[in-house]
Amino acid sequence: MQALAELAVEQQRWEEAQQLVADHPELAEAVCVPWAEWLVAKGNFHEARLAYRRAGRWQQSAHILQQLNENAVLQHQYALAASLHYQLAMEASNEEPSTSGRDNDDAGLTRHAELYQRAELYYAYDLMHKSSTCPFRTVFAATLLNAACYLLMHLPKEGSQSLVGVSRAVILRVCAQQAQQLQAFKLARWAYTQLQSLRVPSAWQDSVELMSVQLHGSPFTDAEDVLPTCYRCGSSNPLVNPQAAALLEEDPMPPAGAESSASMNTGGADVLQIEDSGDALDIDLDDPFQAQMLDISQPVVADEHMLKCLKQQVRHRCSRGFHAVSC
């Protein structure tokens, strides 16, 4: 069978070669690796990546994604770069299980979290790039402002960890423009001050100086309707808040954070059956989650009993020991 597989590969009769692999899985590496190389030469990168994965070549599969990601950033296709980073993050968490201990598994989870955050950053920066280069916009001003604030809060510092192709000047310019439009004058002043300390294109200099002068006659505060509000204590927070975690909130009700209890096995994949206990908007002091929410001085600690008592109308997602729930 080995000789027959080599003959099919040599003559590029890939359908027959794949049938041999289906009947004899031990021939996967001998067939799928040259098949993947042939697909790369033809420009079929997605199929080539799947072929490498079938052959157990996880590193070659990730290398294709990394090359595609670099090309997407160089061509200013930031939405595509975000999608490729997301695929890399999924591969980092779903790659072949490690047999060398928990440390490598933790390293894989750390890499997954880093790549996932980079995907969100590139997705947000795609909105900044289109807002600066397109003659018209297709998103609301509040969406652009939220994306700009998210980038300013989570963008890595200058150095080896900085995102390739991402300009802080572009982010600050979009942030200042949208903040001024939404009457967030304090944020607009801060953004223009930061922008004047950077090297900006000559085409921007006159408009940046003009908008800075126009802001002198504006209030020194942000409009209350644009300030994010803590739905637990009711206090307002600054727009550029390092504690904020959401990029573009799509839920009609904001999320509330909860830490996992130390007694829970966060490394497992146990599924908890949520018991229905009425309307999600009803206030029930016997509900352990609502009871802890009333005490704003302590963080909410979610144990197994609390998660089981969540209403069925309540959605929740878990990210390495941190739960965000929303009605």
Q: pLDDT at position 81, please? A: 93
Average pLDDT over residues 295-319: 64
pLDDT grade for 259, boundaries at 50, 70 and 90: low
Q: pLDDT at position 310, please? A: 65
Written as one letter, the residue type at 143 is T
Q: pLDDT at position 282, please? A: 53
User: Could you tell me if residue 67 is left (phi over 0), alpha (psi between -120 and 50 degrees) or otherwise beta?
Assistant: alpha
How does pLDDT run across 159-204, given as a tens digit for each residue? 546 788 899 999 999 999 999 999 999 999 999 888 888 888 888 8
Average pLDDT over residues 246-271: 49
User: Could you tell me if residue 155 is left (phi over 0), alpha (psi between -120 and 50 degrees) or otherwise beta?
Assistant: beta
Residue 132 CA to residue 272 CA, distance in Å, equals 46
- Quote the crossing angle between the two packed helices 185-196 and 168-181, to the nearest 10°: 150
Q: Which residue has the higher pLDDT, 58 or 150?
A: 150
Taking residue 177's Cβ as centre, other Cβ atoms within 10 Å add up to: 21
Q: pLDDT at position 126, please? A: 95
Find the largest Cα–Cα distance for the chain. 82
CB-based contact 160:153 (threshold 8 Å)? no
pLDDT grade for 250, boundaries at 50, 70 and 90: very low
C-alpha distances in angstroms, 327 versus 133, 230, 234, 281? 37, 15, 17, 8
Kindly report the average pLDDT of the chain as a whole number. Answer: 75
Q: pLDDT at position 176, please? A: 92
Q: pLDDT at position 63, please? A: 86
Average pLDDT over residues 227-237: 72
**Which residues have CB under 8 Å from 234's CB, separation 6+?**
none
The HSE-up count of residue 10 (CA atoms within 13 Å, CB side) is 6
Per-range mean pLDDT, top range of 3-12, 29-38, 76-85, 219-228:
76-85
Residue 327 CA to residue 300 CA, distance in Å, equals 16
Taking residue 138's Cβ as centre, other Cβ atoms within 10 Å add up to: 9
Q: pLDDT at position 178, please? A: 92
**Which residues have CB under 8 Å from 53's CB, separation 6+?**
61
- Quote the crossing angle between the two packed helices 28-42 and 14-23, to the nearest 10°: 150
Q: pLDDT at position 80, please? A: 93
Q: In 3-state terms, what secondary structure has residue 259?
A: strand
How does pLDDT run across 121-169, given as a tens digit for each residue? 999 999 999 998 888 888 899 999 999 999 988 887 665 467 888 999 9
Average pLDDT over residues 230-246: 64
Q: pLDDT at position 160, please? A: 46
Taking residue 191's Cβ as centre, other Cβ atoms within 10 Å add up to: 30
Range of lowest pLDDT (6-20, 34-48, 50-64): 6-20
Per residue, the 3-state secondary structure of 173-189, as one string, reads HHHHHHHHHCCEHHHHH
- Report H helices in the chain: 2-10, 14-23, 28-42, 45-54, 58-74, 78-94, 102-133, 141-154, 168-181, 185-196, 202-214, 288-293, 304-308
How does pLDDT run across 278-294, given as a tens digit for each residue? 444 455 566 777 777 77
Q: Residue 300: pLDDT above 80?
A: no
pLDDT grade for 318, boundaries at 50, 70 and 90: low
